[in-house]
Structure 1
Amino acid sequence: MTMYTPHVARENGPLYKALADSIERDIQAGTLTPGERLPTHRDMADALGVNVSTVTRGYREAEKRGLLSGTVGRGTFVASDAVTSSAMVSFEPGAPGMIEMGLIAPLSYLDPDVAEGFRRIARRKDPTTFLRYTDPRGLPDHRQAGALWARLYGLECGPEEIIVCAGAQHALTCCLAGLLRPGDRLAVDSLTYPGLKSLASMLGIRLAPITMDGQGMMPEALDAACRRNDIKAVYLMPGVHNPTTATMSEPRRDEIARLAEVHDLIIIEDDAYDLTHPGRTTPVSDRARHRAVFVAGLSKSLAAGLRVAFLVAPPALRKPLAQAVLNTIWMAPPLNVELAAMWITDGTAEQILEAKRAEAARRYMIACDVLDGLRFRGKPTGFFCWLELPAPWTGAAFEAAARARGINVFGAEKFVVGDTAAPAAARLSLTGAEDIDDYRQGLWVLWHLLTRKD
């Protein structure tokens, strides 16, 4: 078998970047394919006539770009998602009549009356108060509301622990930019939130995929990864894992928290969908408060367009997180946060959350009816489900075939990290189509696609 040897342009710029560029070109051209093993650092250096350190830097640069995955003792592989976009939203205009079952929409038509909300604010306070620069951490009343919201997730905290952000994605940006540095490794589930993947790639954070089971991240796999590599932090979704809907048990949470102590890991806990189902389990963060940051987002429950989320952070991490808010947007828009805080404190937010759970439950029952005979996992009031595909389907092939029939879904390849093999599965949004008839029609199209005999 011929060893892969890239053509490295040596005219301009550092050689290690030229090596990463050539690897990227070869992946795009199909010369290198997902899962393919690259030569060792020494073999590549000999083939190119360069120092081993140049190859090491080139591979690391390609890994930062999300192209390669390297593991001590196993080698360097082309990332499973190297040719799959992690983007959840396309900037290209969608095809007319496309039924959305990929993007998870938060049932915005059930949100409270924004106009009435602003009128209430104007009657109670001088609105110009919210048009000025404020503390990057947020106004005192807003941080108090954030503490109330965090308690819905099962995390008791005070307003002094809260940092207000412009949505959960911004909160994650502040966590990665404020607490990690380019080149640092972040442990994540082997299938994880695509927005986290894109963000890590943009910031040069290397993701270390950790093997999962029916409860999510496996402690023994996290322990082994930490012993092999220098891992700085771990990203968790223990309540309703995206995309598999797995829920981590209390003992599993205990063990993950213990390992964070053993390996000195920062915990970044982002349970975006935990409030979509009733019943609380104590967050992992509550087991290691001094090293954990918890993202208490609103978007899946209330007025996604307001872009409001709350970070719960320990004393040692608050300053870099607040500095990250200042460096990115200075502050979350106070008027937006005031509206969200008002709805949190007067009980409106919880009423809306219950209404959305009820609608999600109706949609889940429709999915159970239409997808009869297919294997999928979900929560009875959840916003999405994880569909196992029959042979010989792959997630990417199913996504393409569904799109050709006017249905947008997300194949498993969009969620895989590093050299993880993509399972034959897809995530179906139960809330993407606002019209219930469109939603039902989309399910029927997908059912026929997977059960036809031709």
Structure 2
Amino acid sequence: MPLDAASLRWLKRLTRDGRPLYLAIAEALEAAVREGELQPGDQLPPQRAVAEALGIDFTTVTRAYGAARARGLLEGAVGRGTFVRGRAAEDEAGLVDLSMNLPPPPDGISLGAQLRAGVDAILARTDAATLMAYHPGAGTLGQKAAGAAWLAPVLGDVPPERLMVAPGAQTALAAALQALARPGDALIVEPLTYPGLIAIAGRYGLRMIPCPVDDEGFQPEALARLCADERATAIYLVPTTQNPTCATMGLARRREIAAIAEAAGAWLFEDDPYSRLFDAPAPALAGLAPTRGVYIATLSKCLTPGLRIAYLMAPAGEASERCAESLRALGLMAPPLMAALATAWIREGTAEAILAGVRREARARRAIARETLPRARGADEALHVWLDLPAGTDSGQLRLMAQQRGLALVTAEAFSAGPGHPNGVRVSLGGPAKRAVLAQSLQTLAGLVGRGPAARPMVV
């Protein structure tokens, strides 16, 4: 293949100046990406084609591609080829995001390559017009069966017909609350809770009632008392790696909470974005509260938020029918192409492979956080940690100083369901594209926290 071939023109930048040739090739590629000659998503020629064009050994090109991959320039997948990688978000925005709770790039797997391969396969076997049409309803039986298989480690053997496929957990939660609660109803929540739930409750006019918690979540006696005193219609919780405090309920506590909901006749809304990150997750409360449990699980935290696919399950009968009607009213349908992709990934094992890569990367990042922020709480698989701040530290000032140093943080105020809240920050570990960026960012944060309450931004 001559160098004039479109896919090889970037090699004309190569300068043989005595440096190792593989590094010179990697730097020529980096220059082509930096100056726009190569764009994110462009496929590079096979390594043998590059070797033949340059008249060099194949292993030299292999080392060059490896060096470029180490610089974050390339991504690839077996059987698909090598592609130019998109720029990291922190490179574009100039800010390292420790505020948004994202799964990290899966270790050893190119998500971009898997996306291209998956979509290509779907388009090869499915008429494009079908994918681009309306598909009202809560998913096909095949999509529900895939969801049931994915959630089996948490839900056990659930009939696929019980599940609804939703365009994201936020829509699923909004639909379920709209279906089963009314304005003015009491909704019992954790004192620090998911901001999306706070927004929904405010929109629907629900009265959020914070319930005292301990290291496992809701205190059973307090929950039972509030259910009675407030005539609670609903209870909302994240029992596994609670957002933001990272508390996780043990099995005995789950049984207590489920029994309280059943006895009180309160709907138990279980938001479960994180359980599949664990090798042996605890059982869902929905199975322990069969007449009151409403279960929501998204693929956003275990795979990627771009899929916009979540699964909703409510008690069979009227409650499930009402949730399905509300889901249609709010979201009409899950995006057909993404629903097809998620289903194919689950059936073919790709989803499990991506999940394994996310787990490995999450554990590596949690280890970095444990070394840098030893007082932070969070499981080995957690995508975030909770850090209590020293007494007297102004969390707002800390957030401002972090921003001045290129870090985006979110403090307890964003999660507060009531007038008071503890002094702390949630530190998300998945946003930075590379571990080295995360490590440096956490070192910066640790330095700011270590300065204590006297830390103030300089104002003139």
1:326 to 325, 328, 341: 328
Deviation at 1:353, TM superposition (A): 0.6
1:99 aligns with 2:96: yes
Change (3 A) 1:226 1:394: farther
Conserved 8 A contact 2:262-2:291? no
Question: Corresponding residue for 1:452?
Answer: 451
Q: 2 CA distance for matches of 1:268 and 1:310?
A: 13
Question: Corresponding residue for 2:13?
Answer: none
Change (3 A) 1:95 1:341: closer
Conserved 8 A contact 1:285-1:294? yes
| Structure 2: stretches of 5+ with no match in the other structure | 1-89, 455-460
Question: Corresponding residue for 2:397?
Answer: 397
Q: 2 CA distance for matches of 1:363 and 1:94?
A: 20
Question: Corresponding residue for 1:379?
Answer: 379
Change (3 A) 1:94 1:243: farther
Question: Corresponding residue for 2:143?
Answer: 142
Q: 2 CA distance for matches of 1:405 and 1:236?
A: 34
Deviation at 1:272, TM superposition (A): 1.1
TM-score normalised over the length of structure 1: 0.75
1:100-155: CA deviation from partner (whole Å, max 9, x where unpaired) = 11111222565362221112112333333233333412111111111112213244
Q: 1 CA distance for matches of 2:350 and 2:448?
A: 41
Question: Corresponding residue for 1:439?
Answer: 438
Deviation at 1:338, TM superposition (A): 0.7
Question: Corresponding residue for 2:351?
Answer: 349
1:169-196: CA deviation from partner (whole Å, max 9, x where unpaired) = 1111111112212222211111111111
Letter in 1 for 2:366: Y
Deviation at 1:390, TM superposition (A): 1.2
1:174 aligns with 2:175: yes
Letter in 2 for 1:430: L
Q: 2 CA distance for matches of 1:155 and 1:203?
A: 33
Deviation at 1:452, TM superposition (A): 2.9
Secondary structure at 1:183's aligned position in 2? coil
Question: Corresponding residue for 1:196?
Answer: 197
Q: 2 CA distance for matches of 1:207 and 1:357?
A: 34
Q: 1 CA distance for matches of 2:153 and 2:344?
A: 16
Change (3 A) 1:300 1:393: same
Letter in 1 for 2:344: M
Letter in 2 for 1:415: F
Question: Corresponding residue for 2:8?
Answer: none
**Percent identity (aligned):** 36
Secondary structure at 1:113's aligned position in 2? helix
Deviation at 1:389, TM superposition (A): 1.0
Q: 1 CA distance for matches of 2:129 and 2:392?
A: 60
Deviation at 1:277, TM superposition (A): 2.6
Deviation at 1:399, TM superposition (A): 2.1
Question: Corresponding residue for 2:34?
Answer: none
Deviation at 1:305, TM superposition (A): 0.9
1:428 aligns with 2:427: yes
Question: Corresponding residue for 2:372?
Answer: 370
TM-score normalised over the length of structure 2: 0.74
Conserved 8 A contact 2:192-2:417? yes
Question: Corresponding residue for 2:259?
Answer: 258
1:206 aligns with 2:197: no
Conserved 8 A contact 2:303-2:358? no
Q: 2 CA distance for matches of 1:279 and 1:324?
A: 33
| Structure 1: stretches of 5+ with no match in the other structure | 1-92
Deviation at 1:96, TM superposition (A): 4.4
Q: 1 CA distance for matches of 2:255 and 2:331?
A: 35
Deviation at 1:337, TM superposition (A): 0.3
1:359 to 358, 361, 364: 361
Q: 2 CA distance for matches of 1:437 and 1:292?
A: 42
1:304-356: CA deviation from partner (whole Å, max 9, x where unpaired) = 11200111222231111111121112111222101100001111111111101
Letter in 2 for 1:167: G
Q: 1 CA distance for matches of 2:301 and 2:120?
A: 24
Deviation at 1:95, TM superposition (A): 9.9
Question: Corresponding residue for 1:114?
Answer: 115
Question: Corresponding residue for 2:314?
Answer: 313
Change (3 A) 1:253 1:418: same
Deviation at 1:252, TM superposition (A): 0.8
Q: 2 CA distance for matches of 1:254 and 1:385?
A: 26
Letter in 1 for 2:405: R
Q: 2 CA distance for matches of 1:122 and 1:283?
A: 35
Q: 1 CA distance for matches of 2:335 and 2:368?
A: 39
Q: 2 CA distance for matches of 1:185 and 1:100?
A: 35
| CA radius of gyration, larger in | 2
